[in-house]
Amino acid sequence: MNDGGIVTSLETISDFVRGFDPLDGYLANPGPLFGVGRSADRIGQARFALTRVLYQLDKNDGENRLDGGPRGFDKRFWTRRAPGSVDVLGDHLGLNADRFNAVDANLIPTGELRPLAGTPCDFRKPVAIGARIDQNDEQLKLGCGFDHNRALNRNGEGLLLAARVEASDSGRVLEVLTGEPGIRFYSGNFRDGSIRGKGGRMDGRPPGLCLETEHFPDSPNQPASNSTDRKPGQTFRSTTVFRFLTGAPAPEG
């Protein structure tokens, strides 16, 4: 729908987009976001400097600004649509990334692009999400689960196969292709079951996953990140393709 650029339903065998039944549910929802944000992920301390001017933003994630703030693009009217969410724990996920942005206690990147090899966050080979989400790992504890941006294994411009999700029960497959440098895998860790969504279901942890194609988090404050700065008159273009397939159910284990 054009309010917030929100996908309300996407049916391949069954509807797997999380959300609300009536429009009122989206309008009254104080969070979490179901639409798009001005700046994906978090901006540390809700501030950044641009052309030697310090800009202070509204805070909506502790001391940080998350996904565009309390009145981000998810509260504006759009003519295009944006991605939604899929179901998780038994599903097998593969991500085309060797490194990720390590985060601090506020989930802001430390500046380190850390190798994924040997960590529970390593999805270079598809694995069931639920097999690792509760492992004893510093980064998982900080995010209460998976909540990290990955630097995609990119050798040039154009669309890259960034992620593939296989539903364990139906064989339904989602592939994500993007021109962005990163993809954030978020497993819905901060849903507490207090939101009543579609069909009266309580949206608790883990309700689904989000695969958010993006520039790196906190880009305005991270000198090593690709810039998200746009001057007046410049056009921003970004392409992400969500491709739906069917296949054999993913193996267990």
Name, in order, each residue with C-beta under 8 angstroms of 118's C-beta and a sequence gap of 6 or more: none
Query: How confident is the model at residue 85, as a pLDDT?
Result: 43
Architecture of domain 11-246: Distorted Sandwich (2.70)
* Choice between 76 and 126, residue whose per-residue pLDDT is larger: 126
Mean pLDDT over 171-183 rounds to 92
Query: What tokens appear for 195 in the block?
Result: 């939101």
- Are 67 and 210 in contact by the 8 Å Cβ rule? The answer is no
- Are 78 and 5 in contact by the 8 Å Cβ rule? The answer is yes
Mean pLDDT taken over the chain: 80
**pLDDT for 21 beyond 80:** no
Residue 3 to residue 82: CA distance in whole angstroms: 11
- Other residues' Cβ atoms within 10 Å of the Cβ of residue 129: 23
Query: How confident is the model at residue 110, as a pLDDT?
Result: 93
In the chain, where are the structural domains located? Answer: 11-246
